[in-house]
């Protein structure tokens, strides 16, 4: 049973955001920025944000050459361009807002490893550059000449550099978003699993044993930012979960001879140097059906594949031992465009961020806020 005070002070809001990842926090901040007096609440099921945002690889990327070529198979040129531009704007916005130092951001560039079988993609580099030059003002992709200094195995025949990519510290990024939300007096409740969103009543139901298992929050507007888990609350969204594995080695004895964000196998595998450790992730394509899950478990086939790739191709002269391994869940659809739409006049959703939410998350939130403002 609720008290008079609880009912008056804790349950009614101007905006409720479901999900406290990059998109949820960015939505709350951008809504509140122009409405300092608005009461804004974030409901997050985890003790801290527990989706993809704190479990990713921290690549501030917007597509490797082969990924963009692949996107051109499922999207029109203008759509691909738009998506890349949004990622780039999103990235610029967070760098402008928080600063590179606070984000742990490094502009080391992105690199794609190209094998003999993938050589054909190099012929289309100029074309992709011509599509992207209007956004970046100059060529994005170029071929690296002194590839042997990277120390990869001879399976890697070519290296393509994206001069605009970078890497950041995902923990620092989320902390900055969280602190900024609190600075704006956004209320954040964690351990608050939303079980239902009533679109007609504009109510959100949270499971809680103290209140007969159910607490009803209501708001003028509701933003659903639960990414891969959005299908638990809203039907027919066309969002499939996709699990990703990340592993981080123990610090290496020898200095890793490269820095930057690296892509391999059409972007399905990615790796970077973090504090002279190898961070490697991906490999979902090896067992794609099994990885369409929201369960955070390690797939042994993928783990073995990433370990082998690390030792045989990436750092062939190192004795690697992995110290961390974790999985996170992404949201995918028939193409890489996030779902950003109104479900009713006052309830919107921004989800299905795929594998690029670090760059595009802020911009996605800004579009959701604009829709909710209409
Ligand atoms: C292994 C891995 C590696 C990745 N690497 C990169 C990368 O290097 N670069 C990049 O750009 N992107 C990467 N991504 C993708 C990126 O992390 C996501 O696109 C981004 O974090 C999505 O942000 P989000 O806020 O939409 O979703 P999420 O971070 O998933 O946030 C959703 C939040 O909603 C909460 N939630 C879910 N259901 C409920 C509910 N019913 N009630 C209350 N709360 C709920 C969750 O706990 C979660 O905190 C990676 C993802 C994974 C999994």
pLDDT at 26 over 90: yes
Question: Which residue lies with its CA nearest to atom 35 of ligand 1?
Answer: 19
pLDDT at 193 over 90: yes
Give the domain 4-54+172-238+335-373 fold.
Answer: FAD/NAD(P)-binding domain (3.50.50)
Question: For residue 207, what pLDDT is reported?
Answer: 87
Question: For residue 176, what pLDDT is reported?
Answer: 98
User: Is any atom of ligand 1 closer than 6 Å to the C-beta of 332?
Assistant: no
pLDDT at 208 over 90: no
Say if residues 189 and 42 touch (Cβ distance below 8 Å): yes
In tens, the pLDDT along 254-290 reads: 999 999 999 999 999 999 999 999 999 999 999 999 9
Say if residues 333 and 55 touch (Cβ distance below 8 Å): no
* pLDDT average, residue stretch 203-211: 90
Say if residues 335 and 70 touch (Cβ distance below 8 Å): no
Atom of ligand 1 nearest to the CA of 360: 11
Q: What is the CATH number of domain 240-332?
A: 3.30.9.10
pLDDT at 209 over 90: no
Question: For residue 44, what pLDDT is reported?
Answer: 98
Question: For residue 3, what pLDDT is reported?
Answer: 92
Question: For residue 154, what pLDDT is reported?
Answer: 95
In tens, the pLDDT along 87-141 reads: 999 999 999 999 999 999 999 999 999 999 999 999 999 999 999 999 999 999 9
Q: Write the CA distances from 151 to 119, 172, 200, integer angstroms.
A: 19, 30, 59
User: Is any atom of ligand 1 closer than 6 Å to the C-beta of 16?
Assistant: no
* pLDDT average, residue stretch 42-59: 97
CATH code 3.30.9.10 region(s) in the chain: 240-332
User: Is any atom of ligand 1 closer than 6 Å to the C-beta of 272?
Assistant: no
Question: For residue 213, what pLDDT is reported?
Answer: 79
Residue 330 Cα to ligand 1 midpoint, Å, equals 6
pLDDT at 351 over 90: yes
User: Is any atom of ligand 1 closer than 6 Å to the C-beta of 21?
Assistant: yes
User: Is any atom of ligand 1 closer than 6 Å to the C-beta of 20?
Assistant: yes
Atom of ligand 1 nearest to the CA of 329: 53
What's CA 15's distance to the chain center, in Å? 23
pLDDT at 314 over 90: yes
Question: For residue 252, what pLDDT is reported?
Answer: 96
pLDDT at 212 over 90: no
As a whole number, the mean pLDDT across the chain is: 96
CATH code 3.50.50.60 region(s) in the chain: 4-54+172-238+335-373
In tens, the pLDDT along 240-250 reads: 999 999 999 99
- Phi, psi angle pair for 4, to nearest 5°: -55, -45
Question: Which residue lies with its CA nearest to atom 22 of ligand 1?
Answer: 357
Question: For residue 211, what pLDDT is reported?
Answer: 83
Say how far apart CA 12 and CA 214 lie, in whole Å. Answer: 15
Atom of ligand 1 nearest to the CA of 331: 19
Residue 312 Cα to ligand 1 midpoint, Å, equals 31
User: Is any atom of ligand 1 closer than 6 Å to the C-beta of 225?
Assistant: yes
* pLDDT average, residue stretch 170-185: 98
Question: Which residue lies with its CA nearest to atom 19 of ligand 1?
Answer: 357
In tens, the pLDDT along 324-343 reads: 999 999 999 988 899 999 99
Nearest to 61 by CA among 280, 362, 356: 356
């Amino acid at each position: 049973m609720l008290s008079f005070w609880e009912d008056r002070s804790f349950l009614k809001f101007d905006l409720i955001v479901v999900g406290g990842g990059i998109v949820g926090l960015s939505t709350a901040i951008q809504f509140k920025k122009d409405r300092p007096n608005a009461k804004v609440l974030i409901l997050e099921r985890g003790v801290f944000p527990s989706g993809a945002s704190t479990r990713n690889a921290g690549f501030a990327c917007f597509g490797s050459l082969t990924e963009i070529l692949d996107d051109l198979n499922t999207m029109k040129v203008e759509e691909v361009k738009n998506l890349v531009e949004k990622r780039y704007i999103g990235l610029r916005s967070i760098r402008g807002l928080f600063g590179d130092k606070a984000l742990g951001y490094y502009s080391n560039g992105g690199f794609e490893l190209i094998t003999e079988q993938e050589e054909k993609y190099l012929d289309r580099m100029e074309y992709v550059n011509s599509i992207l030059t209007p956004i970046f003002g100059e060529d994005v992709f170029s071929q690296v000449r002194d590839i042997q200094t990277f120390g990869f195995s001879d399976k890697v025949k070519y290296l393509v550099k994206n001069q605009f990519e970078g890497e950041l510290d995902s923990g620092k990024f989320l902390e900055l978003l969280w602190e900024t939300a609190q600075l704006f007096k956004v209320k954040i409740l964690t351990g608050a699993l939303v079980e239902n969103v009533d679109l007609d009543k504009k109510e959100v139901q949270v499971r809680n044993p103290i209140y007969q298992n159910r607490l009803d929050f209501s708001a003028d507007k509701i933003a659903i930012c639960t990414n891969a888990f959005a299908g638990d609350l809203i039907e027919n969204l066309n969002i499939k979960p996709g699990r990703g594995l990340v592993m981080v080695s123990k610090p290496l004895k020898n200095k890793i001879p490269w820095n930057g964000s690296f892509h391999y196998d059409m972007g399905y595998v990615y790796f970077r140097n973090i504090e002279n450790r190898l961070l490697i992730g991906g490999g979902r394509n090896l067992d794609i059906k099994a990885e369409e899950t929201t369960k955070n478990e390690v797939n042994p086939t993928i783990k073995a594949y990433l370990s082998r790739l690390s030792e045989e191709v990436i750092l062939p002269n190192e004795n690697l031992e992995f110290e961390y391994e974790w999985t996170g869940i992404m949201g995918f659809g028939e193409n890489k465009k996030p779902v950003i739409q109104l479900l009713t006049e006052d309830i919107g959703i921004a989800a299905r961020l795929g594998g690029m939410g670090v760059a595009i998350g802020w911009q996605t939130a800004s579009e959701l806020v604009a829709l909710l403002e209409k």
